[in-house]
Structure 1
Amino acid sequence: MLSACAILAFDVGGLRAAPKQPTAKEPPAPATAKPNPLDLKRELPSPYSANAEGARPATANPDADAAYGAYQRGRYVTAFREATKRIEANPKDAAAMTLLGELYNQGLGVKQDPKRAHEWYRLAAAQNDANAMASLGLMAMDGRGQPKDEKAGRAWLEQAARKGQPSASYNLALIQLAGSKPEDLAAAVANFRTAAEAEVPAAQYALGVLYLQGKGVPRDTTQAAQWFRRAADNGDLGAEVEFAIRLFNGDGVPKDEARAARYFLHAAQRGNAIAQNRIAKLYVAGRGVSKNLVEAAAWNLAAASQGRADAGLDQATAGLNPDERRRAEALAADRANLSQ
């Protein structure tokens, strides 16, 4: 992932049980899942991923486009060769130019070369390719393949966003969110929504936070929960924990402790320390899962190994016998390996 420019960050308080208590560390009180900065280029699709504008869905017949099909299957040398053939046959094939730019940019099938990537993206952008414009915007922001130029980067992102390109819309929204003009916030919300509707999970998470805060939109915990769910189901780890908190408290979504526990457990298995801490608490209390102090201790140890110690959980699991303690430690070690 390219270097990120942090714009906004939130943290989460403790797991809350009804009646709800405010837990956020900064008003207006988001209860977000983890330190989860809304960063430029955070978890965005590449121009040729299944979620990017202009890319065929993953179920498309790869024979219909040999270059794209090879890229999707990880056969990057073949993708390079087939894209080159396409350009030889049609010197204005913008999609093939963008694909070559992507291969050079990431160093897939060819030696990584940001300058060559920039050249191919520029050629594709001249043919009005929105994906190439989005990539040029990020490269200008980072100074990859060219001198760093944030003004030019924003201009490229604006061009791509006007065409509805999802990653450009998301990154432009982050820039607008930091703006000082009232209209910047409205524009940021609109661009987050464009990206969110295109299933960019980082944008869905961002919209959830804005609805939770009532920032740029009316405060609406139901909308917040819906966007956190979509982001979670698209793989956003922070949103997964945030949605679990909504479920556990019945905040914007019907209360369902068992379902909340499943989300916490899945996020814990993916290595999220907050989720590991929360599922440990549920195992201690027998809320959403059967009470199990060995599991509680194991998840508590896993969270503590990532710097999230919890004296209350230590005390709650202090009565384990030596055999149970060994089992918990073994489970914690295994989970630490899985989350790396």
Structure 2
Amino acid sequence: MTRPFAALLTFALLGHAHAGLPEARAALARQDYAAAVRALQGSGARPGTLPYYEEQLLLGRALLAPGWSGSDPARARTLLGWACGMAWEVTNAPSPEVRGAACVLLGRLEEARDNPSQAEAYYHDAAYTDNNQSAWARLAILELGRGASGDRRDMALNTLTRVATEGDPEAQTFLGQRLERGDDGPADPAAAATWYARAAAQNFAPAQAALGRLLLLGRGVARDLPRAAELIARSAAAGEPEGLYLKALQLEEGLGVPADPAAAARLYERLLGGPRFAPATSNAAAHLGWLLVQGLGTAPDRERGLQLLRAGASDLNVYALVRLGTLLESGDGVKQDLATAARYYEVASGYGDPEGAVRLGLLSRWGTGRPQNVMAARVAFEQAAAAGAAEGQFQLGVLYELGLGVPGSAPEQLTRARDLYAQAAAQGHPQARMALAWVQEQLRALPLYPGGTYAEYERGAQGGEPQAQYRWGSFFETGDGRPKDPAQAAAWYARAAAQGHLGAALALASLLERGQGSVPADPRRARDLYLQAATGGSVRAMILLSALLLNGTLVPKDAAQGALWARRGAERGDVVGMRIYAQVLEGGVGVPRNLTLARIWYARAASGGDTAAKAALDRLGKEP
């Protein structure tokens, strides 16, 4: 990747002035390459003078600008050759600063042509003859890229660290990349961000893209979408491929900028001309493939979209692997193949992709496409949660809430679930917000008075403590130590529910749905109470509300809302919710009919022991 001129060159002209040079330097610093060329053309600088050699360098640099329509690498190569080829001992030769910078640019050209030996020769000349720090950095980077070990590796790292500390932006960026990947120990994205920031402050486009990506994801730094958008825009304006890809990603997903899938698709198309295995090219192809399959921002073209995704999967692009896996899992436009989907997720997870890990964990939890294994699911969710993925935090929280394959006592599990849900909710995960409220309710519902008496609960209820009111009401509903009295139970539940107690809202709704004893039926109020508890995260309330809305006999039917709450209950791991959601998918009730997804949810419910779901799965399997 080509480096901005301001970051590459720092030199004085030893008193030799030239009218066009200051203007050209300023134009290059603001990345106005056309203005730089205009300032340098027809300057009349005499060959063999210092201004002449600097002019060749500046003009060559402008003609190498990535993404500029006037770029001309062949001409740049010729111009740079004049400056690099002149030994500094020759009379009227270019200054060491000019010569070294020109040699480094020629080395970068050779690297782009996949000619590392010639590139290394240029860098060696610039480093040992002109003491060019960028050349020392490139030599160290090439040495590490060859897998140097032992003393050679240590020498290369020491050189790179020295040059980075002295301010070279490319060395700073490369060190940041090694820290982010964990090449020399545990991954440290926070330290990586520090190096990226130092290089980005010098207008180094690759560092701007790298720091923008961390800010976009909130990895190692606090998530800051406006700052990320600013850095990515500057990197993209310089023609940096990673910056262009990240800008397209922002436009595709509306991250810090208004969503514009059509503009994203155009940028992805623009990037396809780069080297096939370059990350920006590979990612752009995969994202474009998904847009084409979905018909988002571009005319639908499933054939080309699938071709791009399959090519990306064969190149082990994690986004392509996961997107193709989702198509194979759902059978959306392709033959359903759960086993292959699981393999794709496993490969993506192995490369550290959190979405691949989550999807692999879900297949492992429910035994679809691979043997059911809750422990394997937990490991996958832990990987995604550790990477900061909200869905991974949520799914791991579900396991802790239900006590599935996780360590600790019940209170410890609920506490861990609460913490995980809080992390996911902080990232805007809608289900996590509801789950968090419900787990907090469960934690409050732990014995309020350990070993307490009925009198203690009564005093607490009379004193206005909602948990005590809920428990006191439950004694009247069940006849536990009190005469059975549904009206008294309803009254105490109502007091607790009015203070936001979700368990009390659910209990009161159950009494009111059809009435009990002296408590008259009030299904509409029951619906509202179920909604209060469901919105607060009660899975049981979600399922009961779903059934009430789908049935439509006691309250007006609302198939769309009924299907929505069934899905939310299913996603929280409720087996009955899975079966109900599968039923609405099978019948197209409140949602588009989708037999493939219906089979998936029936299978999950059946793996949880629901015999009705197993019967439905057997029936669907026999239908044409």
TM-score normalised by the chain length of structure 1: 0.57
Decide whether aligned partners of structure 1 residues 135 and 124 sit closer, same or farther in structure 2, where only a CA change above 3 A counts: farther
Deviations 1:58-115 (A, max 9, x none): 526374333761682211553344x32x43237994225525754896797xx94857
Which residue does 1:156 correspond to in 2?
Answer: 159
Check conservation: 1:274, 1:303, Cα contact below 8 A: no
For the 8 Å contact 1:258–1:288, the answer to whether it is kept is yes
- In the other structure, the counterpart of 1:300 is 306
Separation of aligned partners in 2, 1:77 and 1:92: 12
1:209 alignment partner in structure 2: 213
SS of match in other structure, 2:8: coil
1:207 shift after superposition:
1.0
1:169 maps to 172
RMSD: 4.4
Q: Specify the alignment match of 1:88 in structure 2.
A: 90
For residue 65 of structure 1, what is the aligned residue in structure 2? 52
Structure 2 Cα separation of the partners of residues 103 and 252 of structure 1: 35
**What's the offset of the Cα at 1:253?**
1.9
* Equivalent-residue separation in structure 2 for 1:150 and 1:133 (angstroms): 14
1:230 aligns with 2:224: no
How far apart are the structure 2 equivalents of 1:140 and 1:90?
34
Which residue in the other structure is 1:53 paired with?
A: 8
Cα 1:141–1:124 change in 2 (3 A) is: farther
1:323 maps to none
| Matches of 1:243 and 1:223, distance apart in 2 | 13
Give the fraction of aligned pairs with identical amino acids, expressed as a percent: 22
1:78 alignment partner, one of 78, 82, 89: 82
Q: CA deviation at 1:167?
A: 0.9
CA drift of 1:168 comes to 1.7
CA displacement 1:213-234 (0-9 Å, x = unmatched): 4344212233334333433444
Indicate how the Cα distance of structure 1 residues 259 and 94 shifts in structure 2: closer, same or farther if over 3 A, else same.
same
**CA 1:282 to 1:117, structure 2 compared with 1: closer, same or farther past 3 Å?**
closer
- Alignment coverage as a number of residue pairs: 260
Measured against aligned partners, the alpha-carbon deviations of 1:40-59 in whole angstroms (never above 9, x if no partner) come to xxx353xxx73542175352
Please tell me whether the aligned partners of residues 124 and 132 of structure 1 are also in contact (alpha carbons under 8 angstroms): no
In the alignment, structure 2 segments of 5+ residues that lack a partner are 11-24, 46-50, 61-75, 111-116, 315-319, 336-624
**Paired AA for residue 287 in structure 1:** L
Contact 1:67 1:78 in 2 (8 A): no
Kept in 1, the 8 Å contact 2:100–2:126? The answer is: yes
1:278-312 deviations in Å (ceiling 9; x for gaps): 445445555333xx34x443343344344358457
What corresponds to 1:7 in structure 2?
Answer: none
2:124 aligned residue: 118
Give, in angstroms, the shift of residue 121 of structure 1.
Answer: 1.1
Letter in 2 for 1:66: Y
Judged with a 3 Å threshold, the aligned counterparts in structure 2 of structure 1 residues 160 and 251 are, in CA distance, closer, same or farther, namely same
- More relative contact order in 1 or in 2 (CA 8 Å, sep 6+)? 1
Q: Rg larger in 1 or in 2?
A: 2
1:256 is displaced (CA, Å) by 2.7
Displacement, 1:246?
A: 2.5
Partner amino acid, structure 2, of 1:134: A
